[in-house]
Amino acid sequence: MVTLAEVAKCAGVSSSTVSYVISGKRSISEATRRRVEQAISDLGYHPNAGARALAGKRSHIIALVVPLRTDVYVPIMMEIAIAVTVAARQYGYDVLLITNDEGPEGVRRVAASGLADGVILMDVELDDDRIPVLRTQGTHAALIGLPDDTSGLACVDHDFAAAGAMCADHLADLGHRDVAFIGYSPVVYQRHAGYAERTLTGFQDRAAERGLRILHRPCEGTYDSTAGAFARILADRPETTGFVVQNEGAIGPLLSLLRTTGRIVPEDASVVALCPESLAEQYSPRLTAVTGPAEELGRVAVDLVMRRIEDGTPAEVTLLTPVLTTRESTGPAPRTR
Amino acid sequence: MVTLAEVAKCAGVSSSTVSYVISGKRSISEATRRRVEQAISDLGYHPNAGARALAGKRSHIIALVVPLRTDVYVPIMMEIAIAVTVAARQYGYDVLLITNDEGPEGVRRVAASGLADGVILMDVELDDDRIPVLRTQGTHAALIGLPDDTSGLACVDHDFAAAGAMCADHLADLGHRDVAFIGYSPVVYQRHAGYAERTLTGFQDRAAERGLRILHRPCEGTYDSTAGAFARILADRPETTGFVVQNEGAIGPLLSLLRTTGRIVPEDASVVALCPESLAEQYSPRLTAVTGPAEELGRVAVDLVMRRIEDGTPAEVTLLTPVLTTRESTGPAPRTR
DNA sequence: TTGTAGGCGTTATCAA
DNA sequence: TTGATAACGCCTACAA
């Protein structure tokens, strides 16, 4: 293994000079800098991570805590995880993957051991048991998702309320009067997952303003469950012409059901999905959808932790505005039924 | 921050004793062990990761290199990543997430810096440019996926050939004679992704043995692309009664198309999917499917690296046998058409 | 602009 | 069974 000292000898300088060339923390004459850099690449030197962490009091690692349970759409979690990793590299940081099966203890472990300089929590619940650990340990952290009490915490999340409202607006603008909202399974709402509630509330509030008549139906995301929800919607409010779906698993079934019951999309019924673009593009017809910027979520989370690590900037809550993309699944409400 | 020395003072022993209590590398009297453990928990001591790595020449971290491109079904990647993380913890190891946007250099970096003691490569291609780095650096590694030349490498993968063969057998057993295989997009085959080729070959070989007439149609996994493939299958071989799908995106569309064209599953047509259980269960009817054990893949990969790190066990190739689960989408071939 | 030297917290060797 | 103590490789005041 090549060490700083060997590079120094090779370049004919002291090891501190090599260290400073690498860190850039003091000015170096052009000549020696070049000799040092030459030596570094000649010998194939890579600074030892352990030694650096020990001496520098900074591991240059952040921990990303991912949930085991996965009712949130998995590809999005992955996209966020990758965005976090890529963004962290920009800061010279690496990302340690922590699963929640260790519970809050995992967070304590990586923070207390100095393994990680900071922590990013994914899929944060309203009353998340990892948060007390952060507070007592004074761990640098950023949360993806909004807990009950955000005081002193750096958080970033989609603006789900805005997303819900955008769906209501879009359908109202198109002249729909009766709209159904097909949501997540009841357990998601019971767990008070913030995103589900906030979307629904945003939708309901805006729907009320716009004078829409709405129906909310939870759904498991399977075909059978979707069929059940669909049947009850038609039974309760046959004049429904607009559908908002927030359950990825329910999209395919819903489109099938509309087709099977002789409803053409978008002539007879309009469908707005709350889902990633990649999904929206995959169906036929391609779906008008409200999408939150997953990649940005990860990037912002990294920015937040890094700021806390590097200069202890005070915490803040950031909500990212979703985007409604009009595709082929929505159109003007049918004139008559 | 609590250090070993502080624990030692608190317990009235030397710091080396504390170290040995923790590592268990030499016998300690019951009495001192208890005092030390008491001190550890009283003070809330956590060994410093950097110091441990430096002194012990082992970071207790393995790197997991995930692809950015993601034509492999993402939830499975995530399942493997989580399985790897959980399995690594059993060995007292943590997992560092590396994306492939750094290219092979990322592997070099984490290995050369001693950041990671070993590396797990996901989604290995036949001719993977990360492999030369492993070879020249002598990095401890395990590959998920089979490269061209596996010599000296520890690899684990699904037995895709067996999976393909199982599909052929199942449909042949049910009396089907004309079977179509809906695969991945042409680019996947052009890239010579091993899994796509091996599945197809396994299917074709067994189909030949069993006297099946087969048709292979690549597919992008969108509705339109699936519709195109489906139409060509019916045009070329209208008597087709069995379908094997290896493209997750094509499953939903295929079922829709069968329904739309008046074919009842499984009375008129049988469908076997090569996909994870969670997907197979989601459709209606629930799908007979051949599934590879994703979680085991991750676990075995960890076992392989750990063995190489801890006792340099020679490399080996492990193929995991998939499982065919019969559900509601396959039945006896229709007697006549 | 560059060099010297002490220390970071653990591990492991050598004694006792 | 336990205790000193010398590495481990890098960072960073402090000197020059």
Domains and CATH numbers, chain B: 4-56 (1.10.260.40), 61-158+294-323 (3.40.50.2300), 160-291 (3.40.50.2300)
pLDDT < 70 regions, chain A = 69-72, 191-193, 336-337
Determine whether the interchain pair B50/A96 forms a contact, defined as Cβ–Cβ distance below 8 Å.
no
pLDDT digits (tens, 9 = 90+) for A84-132: 999 999 999 999 999 999 999 999 999 999 999 999 999 888 889 999 9
**Spatial contact of A18 and A3, defined as CB atoms under 8 Å apart:** no
From first to last of its 337 residues, what are the pLDDT tens digits of chain B?
999 999 999 999 999 999 999 999 999 999 999 999 999 999 999 999 999 999 999 999 999 999 876 656 788 899 999 999 999 999 999 999 999 999 999 999 999 999 999 999 998 888 899 999 999 999 999 999 999 999 999 999 999 999 999 999 999 999 999 999 999 988 887 766 678 899 999 999 999 999 999 999 999 988 999 999 999 999 999 999 999 999 988 999 999 999 989 999 999 999 999 999 988 988 889 999 999 999 999 999 999 999 999 987 888 899 999 999 999 999 999 986 4
Residue A73 pLDDT = 77
**Spatial contact of A117 and A61, defined as CB atoms under 8 Å apart:** yes
Strand partners of residue B217: B182
Burial class (CB in 10 A: 0-12, 13-18, 19+), A238: exposed
What are the structure tokens assigned to B181, written together?
A: 């295989």
Which amino acid, one-letter code, is at A17?
Answer: T
Q: Is the pTM of this model over 0.75?
A: yes
Nucleotides of C under 7 A from a protein CB: 1-13
Which amino acid, one-letter code, is at A315?
Answer: A
Exposure on the CB side of residue B102, measured as CA atoms within 13 A? 23
Q: How far is the CA of A30 from the C1' of C1 (A)?
A: 10
Residue B270 pLDDT = 98
Comparing every residue's Cα with the C1' atom of nucleotide D5, the nearest one is B16
List the 240-259 stretch of B: residues with Cβ below 8 A of A: 249, 252-253, 256, 259
For residue A219, the distance in angstroms to the closest alpha carbon of chain B comes to 13
Cis peptide before A332 (omega within 30 of 0): no
A114-141 core/surface letters (b: 16 or more CB in 10 A; e: else):
bbbbbbbbbbbbeebebbebbeeeebbb
Strand partners of residue A270: A242
Q: Is the CB of B49 under 7 A from strand C?
A: no
Q: Is the CB of B28 under 7 A from strand D?
A: yes
* DSSP state string for B119-182: EEE-S--TT-THHHHHHHHT--EEEES--S--TT--EEEE-HHHHHHHHHHHHHHTT--EEEEE
Residue A337 pLDDT = 47
* DSSP state string for B199-222: HHHHHHHHHHHTT-EEEEE---SS
CA distance B141 to B104: 13
Q: Could you tell me the strand order of the sheet in which A61-66 lies?
A: A317-320, A155-158, A141-144, A118-121, A61-66, A94-99, B94-99, B61-66, B118-121, B141-144, B155-158, B317-320
Q: Is the CB of B104 under 7 A from strand C?
A: no
Candidate from A44, A85, A99 with C-beta closest to B85 = A99
Residue A161 pLDDT = 97
CA distance A199 to A194: 8
C-alpha separations of A174 from A168, A171, A327, B270, B320 in Å = 10, 5, 13, 42, 53
What are the structure tokens assigned to A50, written together?
A: 């352990």
**Spatial contact of B284 and B265, defined as CB atoms under 8 Å apart:** no
| Matching residue, tokens 């991945």 | B184
Closest CA to B333 of B177, B208, B210, B165: B177
B155-171 core/surface letters (b: 16 or more CB in 10 A; e: else):
bbbbbbbbbbbbbbbbb
The reply to whether B138 touches chain A by the CB within 8 Å rule is no
Exposure on the CB side of residue B233, measured as CA atoms within 13 A? 29
Residues 6+ apart with CB under 8 A from B221: A282, B184, B185, B247, B248, B249, B250
Candidate from B51, B82, B113 with C-beta closest to A46 = B113
Q: Which nucleotide does the CA of A55 lie closest to, via C1'?
A: C8
CB pairs under 8 A between A and B: 137
The reply to whether A67 touches chain B by the CB within 8 Å rule is no
Exposure on the CB side of residue A168, measured as CA atoms within 13 A? 24
3-class DSSP state of A215: strand
Exposure on the CB side of residue A262, measured as CA atoms within 13 A? 2
For residue A173, the distance in angstroms to the closest alpha carbon of chain B comes to 29
Measured between CA atoms, the residue of chain A closest to residue B225 is A282
List the 75-134 stretch of B: residues with Cβ below 8 A of A: 75, 77-78, 81-82, 85-86, 89, 94-99, 101-102, 108-110, 112-115
Residue B70 pLDDT = 64
The reply to whether B67 touches chain A by the CB within 8 Å rule is no
What are the structure tokens assigned to B38, written together?
A: 């008491």
Closest CA to B304 of B317, B295, B294: B317
What are the structure tokens assigned to A140, written together?
A: 């640098």
CA distance A102 to A94: 21
Strand partners of residue A96: A63, B96
What is the DSSP secondary structure assignment for residue A331, as one 8-state letter? -
The reply to whether A293 touches chain B by the CB within 8 Å rule is no
Rounded to the nearest 5 degrees, what angle is found at the Cα of A332, between the Cα atoms of A328 and A333?
120
The reply to whether B41 touches chain A by the CB within 8 Å rule is no
Candidate from A59, A94, A223 with C-beta closest to B50 = A59
Closest CA to A47 of A22, A28, A24, A20: A22
Candidate from B48, B221, B227 with C-beta closest to A113 = B48
Determine whether the interchain pair B59/A48 forms a contact, defined as Cβ–Cβ distance below 8 Å.
no
Residue of B282, B286, B302 to mutate, interface with A, max A Cβ within 10 Å = B282
C-alpha separations of A302 from A61, A299, B51 in Å = 11, 5, 26
Exposure on the CB side of residue B21, measured as CA atoms within 13 A? 23
The reply to whether B230 touches chain A by the CB within 8 Å rule is no
The reply to whether B302 touches chain A by the CB within 8 Å rule is no
Residue B313 pLDDT = 85
The reply to whether B313 touches chain A by the CB within 8 Å rule is no
What are the structure tokens assigned to B76, written together?
A: 């499975």
Determine whether the interchain pair B48/A256 forms a contact, defined as Cβ–Cβ distance below 8 Å.
no
* DSSP state string for A151-165: TT--EEEE-HHHHHH
Q: How far is the CA of A33 from the C1' of C13 (A)?
A: 39
Which amino acid, one-letter code, is at A240?
Answer: T
C-alpha separations of B146 from B143, B230, B312, B321, B322 in Å = 7, 31, 20, 15, 16
What are the structure tokens assigned to B92, written together?
A: 């007292």
What are the structure tokens assigned to B55, written together?
A: 């002194």
